[in-house]
Structure 1
Amino acid sequence: MASISSYKGGATTTITGIDPDVLESHILTKIDGPSLACSASTCHLLHTLCRKDNLWKDICNATWNSVKHPLVRDAIAKFPGGYRSFFYGAFPMVRPGSPGRTRRVLPQDYAWKIYSAVDIYYGSKGIHSKVIVTDTGDSAFLAFSFWLDLLDSQESVKIPLKFEGDENKCMLKLKENLALSCILIDPIRKRAVNISSLTPISVRPHWDGNDVQVMYATILSGFGSSEFVECRIVATVRCKYGKDVKMREAYLYLEDMHKMRLNGDRSLRIFLEAMENGERKKGNAGEEREIYMKYRELKRKRIEGDYRRETRLRIGCRVACLAYLIAFVFLCNFLNVF
């Protein structure tokens, strides 16, 4: 891109020959975040122009409506690279780092409050956004199972999709169009990470027979005996014949490879690891589902292995008890003889 951009009458025009104001206002404002990041590596001029915070602010505001919230806006203003740093942390899909790296204790300067910027889309249209503030300093929060409601009990999100009685068709449309973003923001350590798979991992009928359950999942680095954990977002969509479908609840929690839900303390340590060391990579819906299916297979093998070990342990205990009983009876009979 730094070489020839046009050729007229034997003369060449390089990118440096274009007025910087024209580049910034008529070209760079028309491209998306990943393209802007790539353009910054082509030449010194574009590197300078592509680092301007106003360009990244416009991209972030266009990508996530929740970013316009005053709390998020003030937090981003303190990021070292402003909106550019926020985009780099929040836009790409996060990948787990090396297992076992997750810290054992939370740092003393960890944020007592963490923000969750939630955006829901249908197709390319944003249909709902909100910012949730979680107080992580409460001892009860750290000790008990982590659970984050993305919608209030009386809150619902109207989806521009009318239910005509065909549940399979409705589920297919939801799987293709219903996207969800959930960005965790640490305002103290000035980091952010998107913990949603954006597109659904699975869409299936709800157990009550009236609703549809939509699940988003991201795999993060774990610690201890669980190398990875699953960050799962479950949304319940109400379907009534002849009416627009509505998302009536959505919640987030973490589950390890032993199907145990994590408490607030362990969840925060894993989120912090994802913010600081999680690999960011632009991916697609198919790749997310592929990663999730590999994780499920790994978890299945782990559970089966645990079951086999427990079975062997039970059998060993029973054999030992039986051997002890036989020895005891034999000893009693031996003593009776004399």
Structure 2
Amino acid sequence: MRPILSSSSPCSGPTPRPTAAKTTSGKETAASSFSDIHHDILQSHILTRLDGPALASASCVSTCLSALSSDERLWADISHSTWPSINAPHVCRIISTFPGGHWSFFTDAYPLLADNAGSPSTAHPPPPTELHRRPSELISAVDIRYRGQLIFSKTAETETETGWFRCSPFRIDMLEPKDAVPTPVPFPSPDDACGDLGDSLRLSWVLIDPEGRRAMNLSSAAPVSIQRHWLSGEVHARFATVLPYGERGTAAERVACTIAVTCGGSGGGAMQVREVSAQVEDMEGTYLNGGDSLAILRRAMEGKRGKKTREEEEGRRRYDDFLERRRERRERRARAEGTLDALCVGFGSAALVAFWLFILCR
């Protein structure tokens, strides 16, 4: 049963004096105010039609709407419609332990991570005992859509305590090597390059820390790059989020959490999802191990969140900037190595000439 607010609820209070409004015939009638609308109508027929950002905005309008918008069922419905993969029972139990339930989960997972995601969050500051904690398990909830239609939805659990995980390159695979998920999407023909996949594919990768009760979205929503393999004909889409590296998290030290999606064609011409994986690579193009990646992801999970607006453009911009900085670093290293090689050759040549002069002078 839907709870009925008592007379002491925020939606109640002094009855507003009806204002007089004149009709076309000149008669005065009582005009209704917004507070005259019954709270059950607001909650059942209006607030349920809003998405997350609109509901959050509505909660700032008045004390009444703030109370109605905090209903856990509203945020649960929005979260499950936004990320169908979290409908798994064990994921639902974990989200229910978040400080604010599905509202906390949504505010963590919906916005794009801020550019300084390594800085502590003011909305959910971690307790002092949690500053150096590393999660013992991570849960990945992945959803892929094509033109708004859900074509892939899955959750996976990754343990993080073994030495094998901490020392091996960090990688989370949502599919086994020989698995393929069929989709109703037609696979683009070889003459059509990648078709409209670059404009139509959208991916969400929500990473959940069950112990810390935090979550974040690792995806750039839209692909930062998409290309077809020249030999196999498979389409490789890449999504990415750039994160600070190290305690300082300076712009010169960044890592990219890259998500690779490989799609191929079936015998009937439909597209199959054959690979969905996530890795963390540094400015040198080296994939980090599990221990280092876990520390970076934990700081980002407890860090600041950005804005959802223009998320796709911002995700591409950050990744393009990351690639540009990588290119500049490699060029500087190549120039430094070239200078060192020239000095070594010059020193060697001088030493050889001096040796021969010494022999001839004898």
Name the TM-score class by shorter chain.
0.7 to 0.9
SS across alignment from 2:297:
helix
Match of 2:290 among 264, 270, 291: 264
Alpha-carbon offset, residue 313 of structure 1: 2.6
Q: Match of 1:38, as an amino acid?
A: S
Kept in 1: contact 2:118–2:304 (CA 8 A): no
Alpha-carbon distance in 2 for matches of 1:261, 1:124: 32
Q: Which residue of 1 aligns with 2:274?
A: 248
Q: Deviations over 1:119-170 (max 9, x none)?
A: 121222222211111010011111111111121223222222224635426x
SS across alignment from 1:94:
coil
TM-score (norm. length: structure 2): 0.81
Q: Match of 2:51, as an amino acid?
A: D
Please say if 1:157 is aligned against 2:181. yes
Larger deviation: 308-317 or 210-219? 308-317
Match of 1:204 among 204, 227, 230: 227
Alpha-carbon distance in 2 for matches of 1:40, 1:318: 71
1:32-111 superposed matches below 5 A = 32-97=51-116, 109-111=133-135
Alpha-carbon distance in 2 for matches of 1:7, 1:158: 63
Evaluate the alpha carbon distance shift between residue 164 and residue 132 of structure 1 in structure 2; reply closer, same or farther with a 3 A threshold: closer
SS across alignment from 1:280:
coil
Alpha-carbon offset, residue 325 of structure 1: 5.1
TM-score (norm. length: structure 1): 0.87
Q: Match of 1:113, as an amino acid?
A: E
Kept in 2: contact 1:94–1:278 (CA 8 A): yes
Structure showing greater radius of gyration is 2
Q: Which residue of 2 aligns with 1:220?
A: 243
Alpha-carbon distance in 2 for matches of 1:120, 1:143: 30
Evaluate the alpha carbon distance shift between residue 134 and residue 99 of structure 1 in structure 2; reply closer, same or farther with a 3 A threshold: closer
Alpha-carbon distance in 2 for matches of 1:193, 1:323: 59
Match of 2:156 among 129, 132, 135: 132
Evaluate the alpha carbon distance shift between residue 268 and residue 164 of structure 1 in structure 2; reply closer, same or farther with a 3 A threshold: closer
Alpha-carbon distance in 2 for matches of 1:201, 1:327: 57
Evaluate the alpha carbon distance shift between residue 7 and residue 83 of structure 1 in structure 2; reply closer, same or farther with a 3 A threshold: farther
Provide the aligned C-alpha RMSD in A: 2.8
Q: Deviations over 1:72-118 (max 9, x none)?
A: 111111111110010011111223317799xxxx9664221110111
Larger deviation: 240-249 or 251-260? 240-249
Alpha-carbon offset, residue 333 of structure 1: 5.2
Q: Match of 1:165, as an amino acid?
A: S
Match of 2:306 among 273, 280, 298: 280
Structure 1 residue ranges without an equivalent (≥5): none
Kept in 2: contact 1:164–1:242 (CA 8 A): no
Alpha-carbon offset, residue 322 of structure 1: 4.3
The alignment-based identity, stated in percent, is 34
Alpha-carbon offset, residue 217 of structure 1: 1.3
Alpha-carbon distance in 1 for matches of 2:61, 2:113: 25
